[in-house]
């Protein structure tokens, strides 16, 4: 958690520096508290006193170069922030070898994370309107019996695939996030009435899949419309909706202030429909900087990195792109529309399962997008009460203020608040586990 205590510093220059430091610390897996001692000095403060940070400030000034990427002034197709965060972590360890709390970046010491998601745009190929349109344009070779069957059994339609997809994911030991529309018609025609899917949404929720809002393009710049769509879905699901992804995605994050004001925990709309990309140079669920408000937003942005629409538009499957994210210890966010999980899209289906199986083999942490964001938020509120004897022995100091909130791997470690001891060296917070690496 960052506390800014010095009002004399320039508001125009200081927030970007604080923002980049906080982002680097979070992306690298460090927990800290930053305060001011004097107008020209920064310090890291614990209950035992201040640790001067002038040397640290001089070291990290060079990292301001990533601010243009984080704020959207420049774009890059590499996980540059994750790469710089790793360098930053090593510098912090060298400058202050004993004053940091080191945690694994992802739960259970997983080297990277995978968030699977599905945008439910269409659920029927054999709808009355589509059958009549195709028949009129002579694009449909009508099999009368098959057409009648699908018209009268909508859940068996080739485009539906929701249940089949969920069951196959469960068989592989993973869950995902499904984004549903609440607007039944847009400029491209009819979609579906989400209320008719109430039993299916309840079934997905019972299997620990997440339901998110697939917001209409009309709600892009309207908090009122966005809240209305969110409330419709919440009434059907009977649960809070934490995440949103806009229909047709977004090429920049200027719109993010609206889902932020609407109270969403995260947005996952930032991407390109033509290529796989990392538009902000960071895959970690970060809190974007809003230049208009001159502050960091509360919402987290989960950049969409891998999706099927680029393949539909002619982009070649790119294993090297996935490998770069995994090597950087980032978050691989995958979008695959459920309607592309059946004939005639067998090639796309195989590629999706190849990604899932690859992530499992490489021991990635699979979770819904909401679970990933909750884990990131919880890392800022970790509290440990260390064993006093071990602290004295470690520091070889008798007069150490023993009221510090620090992490320490110890069989005698006793958890407080929402933190419960599992085994030596591990902690649990909000149903997630992670490893204390070193401090």
Q: What is the per-residue pLDDT across 292-321, written as a single tens digit (0 to 9) for each?
A: 788 889 999 999 999 998 888 888 889 999
Three-class secondary structure of residue 203 per DSSP: helix
The stretch 15-39 carries a mean pLDDT of: 62
Task: Please name the residue that has the structure tokens 């090429």.
Answer: 251
Let me know: does 53 contact 43? Beta carbons within 8 Å. yes
Distance between alpha carbon 362 and the CA centroid of its chain, in Å? 19
Tell me the whole-structure pTM to 2 decimals.
0.78
Report long-range pairs for 360-364 (Cβ below 8 Å, ≥24 apart): 360/172, 360/173, 360/174, 362/111, 362/112, 362/326, 363/110, 363/111, 364/110, 364/111, 364/112, 364/113, 364/114, 364/326, 364/332
Three-class secondary structure of residue 439 per DSSP: coil
Give the pLDDT band of residue 426 (cuts 50, 70, 90): very low
Q: Which token pair is 432?
A: 């997630």
Averaged pLDDT of the chain = 73
Over residues 349-403, the pLDDT tens digits come to 999 999 999 999 999 999 999 999 988 887 655 433 333 443 333 333 333 333 3
The stretch 276-303 carries a mean pLDDT of: 89
d(CA 322, CA 145): 43
Domains of the chain, CATH where assigned = 14-103 (no CATH), 108-123+159-367 (3.20.20.370), 388-438 (no CATH)
DSSP conformation letters of 347-414: HHHHHHHHHHHHHHHTT-EEE-HHHHHHHHHHGGG--EE--HHHHHHHHT-SS--TT-------TT-E
């Amino acid at each position: 958690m960052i506390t800014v205590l010095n009002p004399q510093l320039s508001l125009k220059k200081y927030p970007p520096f604080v923002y980049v430091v906080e982002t680097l610390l979070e992306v690298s897996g460090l927990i800290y508290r930053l305060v001011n001692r004097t107008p020209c000095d920064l310090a890291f403060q614990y209950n035992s006193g201040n640790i001067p940070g002038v040397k640290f400030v001089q070291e990290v000034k060079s990292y301001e170069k990533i601010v243009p990427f984080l704020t959207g002034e420049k774009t890059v197709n590499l996980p540059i922030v994750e790469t710089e965060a790793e360098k930053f972590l090593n510098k912090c360890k060298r400058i202050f070898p004993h004053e940091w709390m080191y945690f694994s970046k992802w739960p259970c010491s997983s080297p990277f994370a995978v968030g699977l998601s599905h945008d439910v745009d269409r659920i029927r190929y054999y709808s009355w309107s589509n059958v009549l349109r195709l028949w009129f344009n002579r694009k449909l070779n009508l099999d009368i019996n098959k057409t009648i069957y699908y018209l009268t059994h909508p859940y068996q339609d080739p485009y539906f695939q929701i249940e089949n997809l969920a069951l196959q994911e469960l068989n592989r030991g993973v869950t995902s996030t499904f984004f549903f529309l609440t607007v039944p018609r847009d400029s491209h025609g009819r979609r579906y009435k989400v209320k008719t899917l109430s039993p299916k949404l309840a079934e997905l929720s019972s299997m620990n899949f997440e339901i998110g809002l697939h917001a209409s393009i009309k709600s892009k710049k309207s908090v009122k419309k966005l809240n209305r769509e969110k409330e419709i879905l919440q009434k059907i699901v009977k649960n809070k909706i934490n995440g949103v992804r806009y229909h047709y995605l977004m090429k920049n994050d200027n719109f993010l202030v609206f889902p932020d004001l609407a109270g969403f925990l995260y947005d996952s709309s930032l991407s390109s429909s033509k290529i796989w990309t990392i538009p902000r140079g960071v895959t970690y669920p970060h809190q974007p900087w809003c230049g208009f408000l001159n502050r960091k937003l509360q919402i987290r942005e989960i950049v969409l990195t891998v999706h099927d629409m680029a393949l539909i538009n002619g982009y070649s499957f790119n294993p090297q792109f996935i490998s770069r994210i995994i090597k950087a210890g980032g978050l691989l966010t995958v979008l695959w529309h459920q309607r592309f999980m059946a004939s005639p899209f067998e090639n796309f289906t195989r590629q999706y399962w190849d990604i899932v199986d690859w992530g499992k083999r490489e021991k990635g942490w699979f979770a819904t997008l909401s679970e990933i964001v909750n884990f990131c938020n919880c890392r800022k509120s970790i509290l440990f009460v260390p064993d006093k004897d071990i602290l004295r022995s470690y520091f070889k100091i008798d007069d150490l203020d023993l009221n510090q909130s620090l992490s320490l791997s110890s069989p005698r470690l006793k958890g407080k608040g929402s933190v419960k001891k599992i085994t030596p060296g591990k902690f649990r917070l909000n149903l997630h586990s992670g490893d204390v690496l070193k401090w």
